[in-house]
Amino acid sequence: MTSSVKPLIPDDDAARLAAAFGRRGFMAAGVAGGLVATPLFASGTARAQAGDAEITVDQARTAPIPIVLPSLGSGVAQQITDVISADLGNSGLFRPISATMPQGTPDFSTYKSLGARAAMTGKVVDQGSSLRVEFRLWDVLTGNQLQGTAYTAGSQDWRRIAHIIADVIYSRMLGEQGYFNSRIAYIARSGPRQHQTTRLAIMDQDGADSRYLTNGQWLTLMPRFNPANNELAFLSYANYRPRVYLFNLGTGQQRLLGDFSGISFAPRFSPDGQSVILSVTRGAGSDLYVVDLASMARRQLTASGAIDTSPSFSPDGTQIVFNSDRGGSPQLYIMSASGGDAKRISYGHGHYGAPVWSPRGDLIAFSRIANGSFSLGVMAPDGTGERILTEGFTVESASFCPNGRVLAFCRQSSGGANGAGFATGISTIDITGFHERALPAGSASDPAWSPLNK
């Protein structure tokens, strides 16, 4: 294809796009098993300038972006279309519109009459063991092509391609990184409430492609993703001794994280993935330790005589937020990542716990118990601007998506008489308290959102 118009994404920008939307598999052409992203040229239309955001997230919350998403074809092509539409629609920031796929340049006048702001076109070529998915994003009002990329990958990676395309649309329309090409680790639960089997499990962020990672022989809790490696930390009661283990998602191998004399729990990786901070019991209390993953050397951070737990690093790795009852009741504190004095930041009514720092650095999510009920909220790192997002019988275990715009959490319903009607599931909610929705994960708890897939 020839054109006097330059590629929408220059080669160096294509490389940056590959880095932003999942490095693993974005390889040079011809490498088996890789996912190759190739810029497409605009045909006879002016192209938008790279980086021009059309609409803010706040505007899209108020008025979701109408976008035409015609079917890319039958079979796997339709499945790709469906995943793209579901990703965008489930964010609450887009309003997908079905339409007939045009040949060549879209019929912008028809799309305008439908109220559309953007439109997708493309095609899927089944090459046997691989797929080539061509995708273009258009500004309906101006007729400009906003994005043009072709993806080639193994046929088994069709869902991954769909999530990446949805991320590209999100990014181009909103000016922020998407989060659809990511996963959620969680605890799958089965059996009666009093004798539940728990398994470490993982699924795509939309609840699809779930699989068990452990067999349920031992109680497992608190999975956490390593932001730099394909690895999880989690709490296991293996051999009736609760301790933190590491799970390699590539090999399935597990290893103990340090052999502490007390119980180790509540792990969380540092932002560079090179160490883990966790709690270790000491008599009736617990202290915070950091373990270097390369040397397994440990460093004690707190010795308050209280229960110090649920630590979480700031995105730059310089600070830690944690939960402690050192002041007489469970509250949130912040201290330097090297230890030292801690400053209390929670002063609302009730008991605070399970803090987690947003990847954007602007918010800390938490659970709060007051008057016998649970709330899930956010506050600024200095404790100001506290907002409750949702409430319920139990709402806890918050985890931010990669761009910090959405939280996954566990919601439990009341058990009723003899536990009848008790249910535990995973839901997501926007950081403003907008658009709460349940994920199709069955009976599940302890969600942990991954970084974008690598």
Q: Is 123 helix (H, G, I), strand (E, B) or coil?
A: strand
Token match 């810029």: residue? Answer: 39
Contact 73, 123 (CB under 8 A): yes
d(CA 57, CA 44): 31
The closest of 248, 254, 219 to 231, measured between CA atoms, is 248
User: For 337-421, where are the E strands, in sequence order?
Assistant: 342-344, 351-357, 364-370, 373-379, 387-392, 394-400, 406-412
Would you state the pLDDT for residue 335? Answer: 98
H or E element, residue 437: strand 437-438
Contact of 199 with 188, CB cutoff 8 Å: yes
pLDDT digits (tens, 9 = 90+) for 258-285: 989 999 999 999 999 999 999 999 999 9
pLDDT at position 155 is: 94
Helix 158-174 / helix 76-90 crossing angle, nearest 10 deg:
40
The end-to-end CA distance of the chain, in Å, is 31
DSSP string, 333-351: EEEETT---EEE---SSSE
Is the distance from CB of 408 to CB of 428 less than 8 angstroms?
yes
Determine the pLDDT at residue 242. Answer: 96
- Tokens read off for 355: 């803090």
Question: Which pLDDT does position 382 carry in this prediction?
Answer: 97
354 phi and psi angles, rounded to 5 deg? 50, 50
**3-class DSSP assignment, residue 111:** helix
390-396, long-range: CB within 8 Å, 24+ apart, which pairs?
390/429, 390/433, 390/436, 395/367, 396/353, 396/354, 396/367
Helices vs. strands in the chain: H and E counts, helices first: 5, 30
* DSSP 8-class letter at 14: H
What lies within 8 Å, CB to CB, of 338 at 6+ separation is 301
Which pair of structure tokens corresponds to residue 328? Answer: 């007489």
What is the model's pLDDT at position 38? 86
3-class state of residue 88 by DSSP: helix
Side by side, the strands of the sheet bearing 387-392 are 351-357, 364-370, 373-379, 387-392
Residue matched to tokens 């600024």 = 380
State the sign of the Cα–Cα–Cα–Cα dihedral 251, 255, 257, 262.
Answer: positive
pLDDT score of 105: 78
Q: Is there a contact between 379 and 367 (Cβ–Cβ < 8 Å)?
A: no
Q: How much is the pLDDT for 331? A: 98
Low-confidence stretches of the chain (pLDDT beneath 70): 1-33, 41-54, 102-104, 415-421
- Look at the block and give the residue holding tokens 């790279």: 50
CB-side neighbour CA atoms (13 Å) of 293: 22
CB 116 within 8 A of CB 197: no
pLDDT tens per residue, range 84-131: 999 999 999 999 998 877 666 788 999 999 999 999 999 999 988 999
The domains found in the chain, sorted by start residue, are: 11-174 (3.40.50.10070), 182-452 (2.120.10.30)
Task: Kindly state the tokens that stand for 235.
Answer: 């709490």
Q: So what's the pLDDT on residue 454? A: 75
Whole-number pLDDT of residue 103: 66
Q: Classify the C-alpha dihedral 275-278-281-285 as positive or negative.
A: positive
Contact 280, 308 (CB under 8 A): no
